[in-house]
Amino acid sequence: MKQFSIYLGLFFMFSFSSILAQVTPESALVALKEGNSRFLAGKSIKPHQDVSRIKELASGQKPFAVIVGCSDSRVPSEIIFDQGLGDLFIVRTAGQVSSYASYGSIEFANAVLGAKLIVVLGHTQCGAVAAACKLPEVPGHIVTLINAIKPAAKLAKHQHGDEIENAVKINVAMQVEQLKNLEPVLTKSTKDNSTMVVGAVYDLKTGKVEFLPENYLDSLKR
């Protein structure tokens, strides 16, 4: 923890301290929603994707949001949110399941790079979630992913509607709560409202990103 604090201090001394305060969690969320709207309308502007942006970022990065997403090849965050180089810090695993390496990456983006919005992004028809709902056994290390999603799959069985799609949303909402309670970095920044953690689901059929209400889990039957 001491080494981390030293690094953080050096970062603010020599890097982007004056820039980090410009983007709030709320404005970052608006930027993502507007980007997805452009993508849906076929009016993507594809920002920050030229040679000048490459040169600008050579000295460092300051992404305005963290996307904790699924590795599914059909859900590329920069495209569906119409963003470019240096805009988003992406952490991806199947079923967007987080482990220690993922946690460290998210904390780094938040505390060091200054990204104050974290979006847990699931998607419809998720294979990892479907496996957690339907398959009794899976091979190799895939079981670590499935076991992490099992609580969501269990709760989904008690809900009305499609079991897998319900499990997708519940899995996202549970992961949001995990990050909000992740000691010591995220608990502090979420409690003082300097960081926002939200959940969302991308629809593979339409391209639309639906952001879940903050109290989504509370609305479910237990």
Average pLDDT, the chain: 91
In CATH terms, the fold of domain 2-214 is Beta-carbonic Anhydrase; Chain A (3.40.1050)
More reliable by pLDDT, 23 or 202: 202
pLDDT value of position 221? 74
Q: Is the pLDDT of residue 178 over 50?
A: yes
Domain boundaries, the chain: 2-214
- Residue 128: its pLDDT value, please? 96
pLDDT at 135: 86
Residue pair 146/132 in contact by the 8 Å Cβ criterion: yes
The model scores a pTM over 0.85:
yes
Mean pLDDT to the nearest integer, 86-107: 97
Residue type, position 220, single letter: L
Confidence band for 14, pLDDT divided at 50, 70 and 90: very low
Question: 72-76 long-range contacts, Cβ below 8 Å, gap at least 24?
Answer: 72/123, 72/126, 72/127, 74/123, 74/204, 75/121, 75/123, 75/202, 75/204
Q: Given the DSSP bridges, would you call strands 209-211 and 196-202 parallel, antiparallel or unpaired?
A: antiparallel
Least reliable range by pLDDT among 87-101, 136-150, 197-211: 136-150
Question: What span, in angstroms and rounded, lies between the C-alpha atoms of 115 and 113?
Answer: 6
